[in-house]
A and B are shown apart, each in its own frame.
Chain A
């Protein structure tokens, strides 16, 4: 309860300072819009449907790219963890490409796919897949083999062993791998939406992009705030319950 009060007070204070700073008129309102004008923009965009449509388009792309990236990354990560050769080849490829900022995939994607949804998807998948592979590879290596040994003596085999032992034993790395993948997917999608201008869908990144084109700082700041909010909400809804479970069961370190 007290925590909620402190947090609310902090952000209310921040908004107040922002508003007061804008009121002084020391900076041009075009470059430094007041909190109220950003709120007015958000309210308007909400009511005329552009904001909700942008959120829908963005989340749709994000989920699709994320699911594809995770669906490729998880099994490949398990594969790289299972043998030395796989780790030396696929593993080091993933390690190398993961260091590439995902925005660097944009020119590649545009040349291959043009200004299309596929280009967008490609950037998101490339941004996600390598980090999921690396997190999964690392996590799968750290499952203590003793769990499978103990379970096998008690008669656990094949499907039972996989579902009742290997899967729950891998939860800590699955959750961290999926979370890392999510963070990377989100960042790559924003990069893709800002740099790939297409007419098939108008996402949050494009809202940001056109805010710049129109010199509409209230739109830029409003879109940024929505992007932060979605990132926070996704973390709360998708990952916090799992992390609480891990913390309860595994203890402090979660591994």
Chain B
């Protein structure tokens, strides 16, 4: 396992360190509980260039969320480091904002208040600037009519749109998305792929997008990193040289997705279901 991780680390060195926005170096993580000692990540290395979308794909429990938490600075790795713009990540900060897998909007604030939360923590902005930015991002995700709505009144898709607006509003350098659309129905999801591509085309954020959906990864990613589990390692890396915007019904895209899916089955030792 360690060999393979080292190998992948070597092959991805073509992203020179100076230009890579995110540089994850041999990160390992164990979770020690009273019942078990889980080796969640084993020497994971990856680089993401500025303005790139990298999708991390892997079966449930392979350590995707753990990896994202470590990049965000929410979890400390047991070994290895993460560099953002050449600076070691020591803790969470608003240069790297997260759209979480589970619902994370604050129920005591309305939609507008949720988007304002991060903006209020930007001391360089004036009050009216904050409000303008919040309006802007809410209309970007198509929710300008729901600014006054309470969180529990929104559908799942709307909640994740608000979470996206909340993460975009403080203008982070890096956007970390942890299976943000995993709980949504297919139609809502497809709609959101278009939105994400549109927003990315305008803002050129650096994005790490975690998913276990092959087509989703192929639709959004410049690169796909395939993870294998127990312990979590990056098994393979695929470039997706398709033009944007992409549709998940595009035949070429489907072919790429199938190739990644085959490789995933290989890393899982003969098609173990999730």
Contacts and interface: CB of A to CB of B under 8 A. Distances in A.
A binds B: yes
A150 B121 CA distance: 13
B118 A149 contact: no
A126 interface: no
A49 B244 CA distance: 83
B15 interface: no
Contacts of A96: none
B104 A155 contact: no
Interface in B241-266: none
Interface residues of A, number: 22
A154 interface: yes
Contact of B74 (A152, A155, A165, A248): A152
Nearest to B117: A154
Contacts of B69: 149
B181 interface: no
B91 to A, nearest CB: 8
Given A160-B121, A250-B152, A153 B108 contact: no
A153 B173 CA distance: 13
B74 A149 contact: yes
A153 B96 contact: yes
B98 A251 contact: no
A150 B96 CA distance: 11
Contacts of B109: 168
A228 to B, nearest CB: 33
A156 B102 CA distance: 20
Q: Which of A144, A155, A251 has the most CB of B within 10 A?
A: A155
A39 to B, nearest CB: 45
A95 B197 CA distance: 54
B98 A150 contact: yes
Contacts of B100: 146, 149-150
Given A146-B100, A154-B118, A249 B107 contact: yes
Interface of B: 69, 72-74, 91-94, 96-98, 100, 102-104, 106-109, 117-118, 121-122, 150-153, 166, 170
- Shortest 5 CB-CB distances between A and B: which pairs? A251-B152, A154-B118, A168-B108, A155-B121, A150-B104
